[in-house]
Structure formats: structure tokens, C-alpha cells
Amino acid sequence: MKKVLSTLLILGAAALFVVLPTTVHAQCTNAALTGSYAMIWQGFTAKKSVHGPYVPWAGVGILTFDGAGNATASWTTSVDGTIYTSQFGAGPYTVNPDCGGALSLTSGSAAGFTSNLVIAGGGAEVFVLSTGTGDAATFTLKKQ
């Protein structure tokens, strides 16, 4: 009887390890991103064209997600030491079930900006990498 009980216990524990990884992972959607996020970034961008020269690029701002796939942003940026204030943009975002996704700005000061993103901490933070030709920058977003 003890042998049967021990065998069942071991099989049950093994089954738990097989099932557990498929049920613990978050299933993200666009709704994982809602509200305003403080945004900071740094990297390099092509100053006049996608052919360079590449210059330092940094900025801070606020990025707001509506939970349904639309984002708006306002920011101040420095491009090679020249400061640009009152910048704005808007566009769609998508979130994949694995909590990765993409953001594009299709209007405003940064129309044409594209990026990939990863949601961390259940939406408390978002890490972004610009993917457009002529940009090389990383962004960190923190929920406000």
C-alpha cells in the first residue's frame, strides 16, 4: 500500500510539473497596457537622413495607452544637443500573448517611429527598442 501511495504521489508531482508551466505564464492582450507611463530613452538617431551621421538622442515624456490598441505621447527630446519641446505623437500598439508587442507612431512629431516592446511586472514597466531605420535607442516606461 505504501509503495502504491508513493508511486501515485510521485506521478502526481510529475504531472504538476508538466501542467504548471502552461498555466502560470501570463496571457497578455492590449488591455495589459492602460493609463499613463513615464518614459525615458537614450540612444542614437540619424540627424538629417537615414544615412547618418548618427548623433546622440535622448528624451523624457509621457506615453498613454488606452487598453484597446491606441497610444498617445508627449515628450521633450535632445537630438545632438538641440532641445525640442512640446513634441507629440499617436498611433497603434499591439500586445502578443507572451507580453511582447509593437508600437508605431503614425501621426505627430515622430510619425514613422516603430518599435518592439516587452511588458514587465504585470504592466508596471515596459521596455522598448526602436526598430526604425536610422534609430538605435532603448526606452524604459514606468506606470504612473
User: Is the predicted pLDDT of residue 72 greater than 50, yes or no?
Assistant: yes
Q: What is the pLDDT of residues 118-129, one digit of tens each?
A: 999 999 999 999
The whole model's pTM is what?
Answer: 0.79
Alpha carbons 28 and 73: distance in angstroms, whole number: 22
Domains of the chain, start order: 30-143 (2.40.160)
User: What pLDDT, on a 0 to 100 scale, did the predictor assign at position 18?
Assistant: 44
Helix (H, G, I), strand (E, B) or coil at 32: helix
Number of residues that make up the chain: 144
Task: Please give the single-letter amino acid code of residue 110.
Answer: A
The neighbouring-strand residues paired with 102 are 94, 116
Q: What is the helix (H) or strand (E) element at residue 75, kind and residue range?
A: strand 70-79
- At residue 31 the predicted structure's pLDDT band, cuts being 50, 70 and 90, is very high
Task: Please report, for the chain, how many H helices and E strands are present, in that order.
Answer: 1, 9
